[in-house]
Amino acid sequence: MLIMKKLFLILSLLLACLTVPAQTMRDSNYRTIGYVKSDGTIQNANYSTIGHIKTDGTIQDGNYRTVGHLKDDGTIQDSNYRTVGHYKSDGTVQDSNYRTVGHIKSDGTVQDSNYHTVGHAKDVKPSYAAVLFFFNLLR
């Protein structure tokens, strides 16, 4: 009986992990523009894979070519390790010259430098939202 309970628990956890939905990215009008899956896979609104953000911060396109890097300190780099921007822990997004280009609020609202809402990325890791909304490394 104990073995059956453990097996049931393991299968339940596995099923729960497999059914975790992707986090939705939306434009300012709440139209779905893409998804970020828990494994870092980036999909467009039609569920086609357009890229990946790996756990080591490597940003890849849909063909697994490295197009950038997201460093632990929030620095965002292109494929040649040139800094293109910065994500700050307070949600500020800056270009390579430290000019503010936007903000990621704690509720996932994405705003431009004038605080106009440009999108929504609720439950998306804020640094991922910064990469996807402001630096367009996955063209």
Element holding 94 (H helix, E strand):
strand 92-95
Report the chain (139 residues): mean pLDDT per 10 consecutive residues. 47 47 90 94 93 95 94 95 96 96 96 96 94 76
pLDDT of residue 4: 46
pLDDT of residue 22: 84
What the block records as the tokens of 103 is 């903000």
pLDDT of residue 5: 46
pLDDT of residue 68: 94
State the pTM of this model.
0.81
The C-alpha atoms of residue 10 and residue 14 are separated, in whole angstroms, by: 6
- Strand 117-120 and strand 83-87: pairing? unpaired
pLDDT of residue 139: 53
Contacts of 68 (CB under 8 A, 6+ apart): 58, 59, 76, 77, 78, 79, 84, 131, 135, 137
What the block records as the tokens of 42 is 């980036």
pLDDT of residue 20: 52
